[in-house]
């Protein structure tokens, strides 16, 4: 997971940014996760690697924005893909309201990159959850995350 979410992402970003800097134009969209906004008991490595994706993308965003390049971290919440089956997760009791379709997330990602955003949390409910993590104490964030991850 560290190889895929951290090492590969860093290598690909640097490979892409070289030619973009020469052209003084380009967009990089890194797929992070709402899970990167708080520690996720039971998903420690996943949450930590996604926190890396968001932080790394934000730093790069500032580093290259004057070169005409936009780097955007997109943070989806629950999205209907093969992810759950592949990871052996059971999200059947996850409320329907919280799910997004992959094409909705893709549209939000493209719009955010086009608008020059550094970070975009996909979906209104996910944006409320993400905003909560910025105001709650760390202990509360951990405990609330555990309430969600314990059910998966």
Least separation, in Å, of the C-beta of 21 and ligand NAP?
25
Told to check if 12 binds ligand NAP by CB under 6 A, we report: no
Among 12, 81, 107, 128, binds ligand NAP (CB under 6 A): 81
Q: Name beta bridge partners: 100.
A: 79
Least separation, in Å, of the C-beta of 48 and ligand NAP?
13
Least separation, in Å, of the C-beta of 3 and ligand NAP?
7
Told to check if 38 binds ligand NAP by CB under 6 A, we report: no
Told to check if 93 binds ligand NAP by CB under 6 A, we report: no
Nearer residue to ligand NAP within complex by CB, 82 or 137: 82
Told to check if 40 binds ligand NAP by CB under 6 A, we report: no
| Active-site residue, selected from the candidate residues 27, 41, 46, 142 | 46
Cβ count near 45 (within 10 Å): 12
Q: Is 46 tagged catalytic?
A: yes
**Three state DSSP letters for the chain:** CHHHHHHHHHHHHHHHHHHHHHHCCEEEEEECCHHHHCCCCCCHHHHHHHHHHHHHHHHHHHHHHHHCEEEEEEECCCEECCHHHHHCCCCCCCCHHHCEEHHHHHHHHHHHHHCCCCEEECCHHHHHHHHHHHHCCHHHHHHHHHHHHCCC
Told to check if 30 binds ligand NAP by CB under 6 A, we report: no
Q: By the criterion CB under 6 A, which residues form the site for ligand NAP?
A: 4, 31, 33, 76, 78-79, 81-83, 86
């Amino acid at each position: 997971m560290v190889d895929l979410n951290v090492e590969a992402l860093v290598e690909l970003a640097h490979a892409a940014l070289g030619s973009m800097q020469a052209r003084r134009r380009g967009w990089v969209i890194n797929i992070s996760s709402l899970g990167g906004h708080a520690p996720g008991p039971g998903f420690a490595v996943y949450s930590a690697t996604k926190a890396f994706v968001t932080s790394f993308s934000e730093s790069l965003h500032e580093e290259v924005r004057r070169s005409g390049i936009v780097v955007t971290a997109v943070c989806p919440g629950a999205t209907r893909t093969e992810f759950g089956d592949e990871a052996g997760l059971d999200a059947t009791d996850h409320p329907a309201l919280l799910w997004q379709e992959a094409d909705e997330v893709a549209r939000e990602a493209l719009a955010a990159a086009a608008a020059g955003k550094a970070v975009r949390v996909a979906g209104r409910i996910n944006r409320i959850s993400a905003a909560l993590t910025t105001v709650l104490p760390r202990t509360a964030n951990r405990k609330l995350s555990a309430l969600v991850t314990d059910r998966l």
